[in-house]
Amino acid sequence: MEKLLFIYNPNAGTGKIRNSVSEILERLSDAGYRLSVFPTSKQGDASDFAFKHCSKYDYLVASGGDGTLNEVVNGMMAALLAGKKVPKLGYIPAGTVNDFASSLEIPKSVDHAIDVLINGVEKPTDIGSFCVGSSEKLHGFFTYVAAFGAFTDVAYETPQETKNVIGKAAYFLEGIKRLQYIRPYHIKVTYDDTTIEDDFIYGMVSNSKSVGGFKGITGPNVYLDDGKFDAILIKSPRNPVELQSIINSMINMEKTTDSLYHFHAGKISFSSNEKIQWTLDGESGGAHNEVVINDHMQALNIIVPDRSRNFE
């Protein structure tokens, strides 16, 4: 009998997962899994527990929002780098945004997400590491996005109805309201054999088809297992014409323009004279003036829908 560890955040989203725990456990038990359950009670719980115990299990199923999943992945990746065996990862999304679940096509319905766990297939998936300082000290991992600058909170504060109606444009229209408060950062960015040095108001390193509920914002050709991130850097607009160019470029996902850089790379370095605040999967990543981001290709196996079956 395969062993499954269920880690869930009872306060994720609207707390609806609390009403579904019995159903989840009953269905997983009926499917033949030997279950252990751990509800989180404070920040860091999921990461610590996953690191200490994940190697004892065949499956680890996380339920909560993007932050809960981020914690579980941090624990699993720390275990992996420590030479431990890590289990297959399942996810029942129960947060407000659930970006990574959208990218993996995992249903938001608890009932259908359980179907995926029981009948789905493994997908090797890239995970990002976030290192800081000249010594490149490991600071943490992220599943779908590391970002800095002007719009890092816009994605999570823009009403979902607005996103649904006008899509990617909503991201920047909401951001325009804040332009008077935006300040640029002078940053040197290095990837492959390329170095960019400029004033940027926003930067995003992503491994996702959805960021902050905006689907398609990272471009049309996003792969979660190719060892490369999608990176977007937005220069500081000098006038309204340049601002409009930025908006048009993002909506149409054009290639590099005079105001926007869009590239793919497995390792990206950022260097600035001042500390810049970052977010990792929508959570605070701290303020740093030197950052190195690496893509750990196909680091974890995540259970996703079997497209030969019908998951809604």
Catalytic: 254?
Answer: no
The two structure tokens encoding residue 302: 């995540």
The contacts of residue 85 (CB under 8 Å, 6+ apart) are 55
Distance, CA of 196 to CA of 229 (rounded, Å): 17
Residue tagged active-site, from 122, 157, 283, 312:
283
Q: Which residues pair with 7 in a beta bridge?
A: 38, 62
- Kindly report the three-state secondary structure assignment for every residue of the chain: CCEEEEEECCCCCCCHHHHCHHHHHHHHHHCCCEEEEEECCCCCHHHHHHHHHHHHCCEEEEEECHHHHHHHHHHHHHHHHCCCCCCEEEEEECCCCCHHHHHHCCCCCHHHHHHHHHHCEEEEEEEEEEEECCCCEEEEEECCEEEEECCCCHHHHCCHHHHHHHCHHHHHHHHHCCHHHCCCEEEEEEECCEEEEEEEEEEEEECCCEECCEECCCCCCCCCCCCCEEEEEEECCCCHHHHHHHHHHHHHCCCCCCCEEEEEECEEEEEEEEEEEEEECCEEEEEEEEEEEEEEEEEEEEEECCCCCCCC
Distances (CA, A) of 297 to 105, 126, 250, 265: 19, 5, 26, 12
Q: Which residues are catalytic?
A: 283
